Chains A and B, each alone.
Chain A
Amino acid sequence: MKNDTKIEQQLRNILSEEFIDIDPPENFTKNILAKLPEVESRTSHQSFKHICGCMWDKITRPITFSFSPLQLAVVLMVFCGSAVVFAPLNFSKVASRPVTMVKQQPVRFALYDPEQKFSSAVVIGSFNKWQSRGFEMSYDEQQKTWILEHELPEGDYEYVFLVNGESSIPDPRALFYVQDSFGNKNSLIQVGGVRHDL
């Protein structure tokens, strides 16, 4: 190792003495540059690839964090504290959100039939798509009336009584009626509102 440095030093001395007054040849720099291989200029696509490559290197290169147990404890405490403070707020927001529930109201349909002329009576209307199933009325001997009690969502509904399985008759006790477009009337019932509040 020491020999190497000695030789290097000797060579330096010789060369510096020998070439100290000699100028470089004419066009020295130009000639050297001309002999160097040409580097192709990058196209925009290549530049983009190059940038992407650099970025990829940066984001995929592993990063090492170093922290003390005390620092870790502080970070964990801040995280847990914020969770305790903000979580109930968010929960209360969700809990206070209105739940859209269809409010059902009890409705009583009654058809007075003192001589029990009808063998059956059913309520059909816009609330049951004019289908009789599940809306059959039962005859009350004491009141001499066909009765059906049912719960309906709030709203306005048209209805009629289908008697003996074939004839439709509007409710004689209804105050409001609607033309049914077939030359007859449908009774109108308003479910909800003051009628049910009173």
Chain B
Amino acid sequence: MTCSFIRLLSLKKYSISILFFSGLLVSFPALASTTDISTKSFSKQVEMANEAKISKELLLLITQDALEDRLESQQASCLLAKLIAAQREGLPLNVFEEKVIEGRAKGVSASRICSAVNAMLVEMQFSKQLLHELTGKAPDKSIIKNMVEVSAQGISRAQQTAFVTAYASRSLKSIVEGLKLYALLKQAGVSFNELQGFMRLVMKDDATLMRWKEVTQLFSIVIATGVDPDDFITKASSAVEAGILPNAFARNFALQPRSLGVTERNSEIN
């Protein structure tokens, strides 16, 4: 009974995907009649995208846009080609998929979405190569995703390379966490020297990094009260050096004694 039910389910699933792709294939002639671009190449790319396990939701979205003239098939082909390339190189595909959806939601033109996806692809390839050189093995997709986020926060390739090289002895996860903290504080206006000093102290060990990685949240609250970013980081550096816990440090700013994302009890244990 159960076996036949499972078989029925898998048949249903199979039928849905047959229906989906039949729909796509049937739609190609209509696409060809409305555009001058070769349908053959686009249909082939849809097939390749499906084989590359690009989400059906996104595939349907792109094909539908192409059909309804919201997206030229040349642009659609460009998007599919980038997604296929990302999948083949073992890059986190969901980041690209989300970027396409974000672009559409914001009403960004297809050509700009394609350029953005291409820029992300290049950036990810760089991050992957950089981390591969450091560890000798291909980095995890989540690590690459975090590196791209760091890059979007305004950290240049040179800064990424310098940071990774400076803390090469640390684990990849710690390096990425540290880099995220560095990027946010830099963006918030902390000067280079103050930031370097703070990062050196925080990157001392994993426990210190985990305690202080959410200092940006405290920072955003304190800065809103008119405190200078450098003053804040100087005091934070002194606190790290003196072994003062983040929750105790928060009291210096007349804030309620709470932890920095870690409960007070856990913070003291650490």
**Residue positions of A touching B, CB distance < 8 A:** 124, 126, 129-132, 160, 162, 166, 168, 175-184, 188, 190, 192-195, 197-198
Contact = CB atoms under 8 A, between A and B. Distances in A.
Nearest to B118: A181
Given A175-B188, A176-B184, A192 B255 contact: no
Given A179-B152, A179-B154, A181-B152, A194 B221 contact: yes
Interface in B148-204: 149, 152-154, 184, 187-188
A176 B220 contact: yes
Contacts of B224: 175
Given A130-B102, A195-B220, A181 B258 contact: no
B120 interface: yes
B261 interface: yes
B8 interface: no
Given A130-B98, A130-B105, A193 B214 contact: yes
A132 B102 contact: no
Contacts of A197: 256, 258-259, 261
A182 B108 contact: yes
Contacts of B112: 182-183
Given A178-B153, A198-B255, 18 more contacts: A130-B98, A130-B104, A131-B105, A176-B153, A176-B188, A176-B220, A177-B153, A177-B187, A180-B102, A193-B214, A193-B217, A193-B260, A194-B217, A194-B258, A195-B217, A197-B256, A198-B221, A198-B258
Contacts, number: 90
Contact of B105 (A132, A175, A177): A132
Query: Nearest 9 pairs between A and B by C-beta?
Result: A193-B261, A181-B116, A130-B105, A197-B258, A175-B220, A194-B217, A193-B214, A168-B106, A178-B152
Contacts of B220: 175-176, 195
**DSSP majority for the B interface?**
helix
Contacts of A192: 261
Given A175-B223, A195-B221, A182 B106 contact: yes
A113 to B, nearest CB: 19
B101 A130 contact: yes
Contacts of B103: 182
Contacts of A132: 105
Contacts of B80: none
Contacts of A190: 214, 216-217
B119 interface: yes
A181 to B, nearest CB: 4
Nearest to B258: A197
A124 B149 CA distance: 18
Interface residues of B, number: 40
13 contacts: A130-B102, A130-B106, A162-B106, A178-B149, A178-B153, A179-B152, A180-B102, A180-B152, A181-B99, A188-B184, A194-B261, A197-B256, A198-B250
Interface-centre pick from A166, A176, A194 (highest chain B CB count, 10 A): A194
Nearest to B150: A178
Nearest to B220: A175
B31 interface: no
Contacts of A184: 106
Given A181-B116, A194-B217, A176 B105 contact: no
A125 to B, nearest CB: 9
Interface in B87-113: 98-99, 101-108, 112-113
B187 A176 contact: yes
Contacts of A180: 102, 106, 116, 152
A129 B105 CA distance: 9
A8 B119 CA distance: 115
B187 to A, nearest CB: 6
- Residue in A175, A179, A184 whose Cβ sees the most chain B Cβ within 10 Å: A175
A194 B250 contact: yes
A18 B186 CA distance: 126
